[in-house]
Amino acid sequence: MINLFAIAGAATGVVNPQIEAVLKVSDGVTHNPDFSTTPRIIELAMQIEVQALSSSDLQQIQSVNQSSDMRAVYIIGGIKGLNRPLQCGGDIINFYGSDWLVTQSLEEWGMGEWSKVAVTRQTTPT
C-alpha cells in the first residue's frame, strides 16, 4: 500500500514542515463514588501539518463561530469531529502550546489512513 501521507508530507514539508503534537483521544468516562464523572483520555505523540483554513473549509463549517481561532490539521488516522448525539469525538490535539478541539472532519483518505480536520483553540480555565 502506498503511504500517501508520507509522499505529500515530503513534498509540502519544504514549505510547511510537520510539527510534534499530542493527540488526546477520548476513552469514555470513569464514574466516581460521588456520582460525578471523570473523562478518560489516551495520549498519543505524533507528527501533524497545520494550515490556515481555506475559504472552502470555512464554507463547509459555516455554522461554527467564525471569530474562533481555527486551523486545518492533516493527521495520520481517521480522526472524527465532535458529535454529541452519537457521543463520539471530543478528541484534542495539543500543539503550539495549546489544546485544540477537533470540531469537524473535513476530508478523509483511504480506509482511515489520514484525515484533514478542523480544530478550534480551547481556552485554559483560570
The Cα–Cα gap between 57 and 90 comes to 19
Banded pLDDT at 34 (limits 50, 70, 90): very high
Residue 126 domain flag? no
Looking at the structure of the chain, the number of domains it has is 1
Summarize pLDDT for 101-119 with one digit per residue, the tens.
Answer: 998 888 888 777 888 999 9
The grid cell for 53 is 483554513
Residue 22 domain flag? yes
DSSP annotation string for 17-32? --EEEEEEEEEEEEE-
8 Å CB contact between 105 and 117: yes
8 Å CB contact between 23 and 91: yes
Q: Residue 82 is part of which domain span?
A: 4-121
Summarize pLDDT for 41-87 with one digit per residue, the tens.
Answer: 899 999 898 988 777 776 666 655 556 788 999 998 878 777 777 66
Residue 89 domain flag? yes
How far is the first Cα of the chain from the last one, in angstroms, to the nearest whole number? 47
Residue 64 domain flag? yes
Average pLDDT over residues 83-108: 84
Task: Report the CATH number at residue 96.
Answer: 2.40.10.270
Residue 83 domain flag? yes
Helix/strand/coil percent split, the chain, to 5: 10, 50, 40
pLDDT of residue 106: 87
Task: Kindly state the DSSP code that residue 89 receives in the 8-state scheme.
Answer: -
Residue 16 domain flag? yes
